[in-house]
Copies of this chain bind each other. A is one copy, B any other.
Amino acid sequence: MRSSTKHDDTEKKPRGRPRAYDPETALRQAAEAFWKTGYSGTSLDDISAATGMNRPSLRAAFGDKHEIYVKALNDYWELKFAALDRAFGSGGTLAETLTRVYDAALSIYFSGSDQVLGCFVVGTAITEAAGDTEIQSIVAEGFRRIDADFEARFKLARAVGDLKQGADPKALALLASATMHTLAIRARAGTSRSELKKLAHKVVSVICG
């Protein structure tokens, strides 16, 4: 938001003691901790261990536990949207695009360094969403966006003749999103990546065939 995603040499050096840790990577490490054990299952000490920062530094940098989680959640959505945008935007047939989208999702779901963690949102935020309106609305907004992306792609496919005229883009978009949800769930439930790739392939065949 405010500072150096790309280093900006016009910035003056800050006044006091320099930070020992990069905020971006620290947030990502905190997110990984939440990703493994969920919001309630992760203590600030866990996050402290994951980032190498001590608790007062964590608080100064990101706020309390809830704020850290919300930042991690927003960060995850950005990561995911970026990956999906790339998958949606690389051209090709509808089937090719859908396959790329699901591959991109699986790459994230299987990105855990030592375990399979699935989707951060489905795997951790959904649990909190029931009792936390802020998290709930962040989650819902992300889903809306993905639904819209799918729907736009199906409309395009129908216009181009890649999909038959009678097809309902909104209905297909919901099915496409549902497929992403089931991938997220099943990844965390232990289904292997190759199995999920087959699942995605079958779905693409049904939708496009």
Task: Give A contacts to B, CB under 8 Å.
Answer: 36-41, 115-118, 122-124, 126-131, 136-137, 139-140, 143, 168, 170-172, 174-175, 177-179, 181-182, 185-186, 188-191, 199, 202-203, 205-206
Dominant SS at the A interface? Answer: helix
Partner of A40, one of B38, B122, B191: B38
Considering the complex, give the chain B residue whose CB is closest to the CB of A135.
Answer: B189
A172 to B130, CA, bound (A): 30
A168 to B178, CA, bound (A): 18
Please state the number of chain copies in the assembly.
2
Please state if A140 and B205 are interface contacts (CB–CB under 8 Å).
no
Which B residues are in CB contact (< 8 Å) with A177?
182
Which B residues are in CB contact (< 8 Å) with A185?
122, 126, 181, 185
Which B residues are in CB contact (< 8 Å) with A143?
186, 189
Taking A37-B40, A131-B37, A136-B190 as contacts, is the C-beta distance between A178 and B182 under 8 angstroms? yes
19 new A-B contacts at CB < 8 Å, known A171-B205, A172-B206: A36-B131, A37-B40, A37-B130, A38-B127, A41-B128, A115-B130, A118-B126, A122-B122, A122-B126, A124-B127, A129-B188, A130-B188, A137-B190, A139-B189, A171-B203, A171-B206, A174-B199, A174-B203, A175-B203
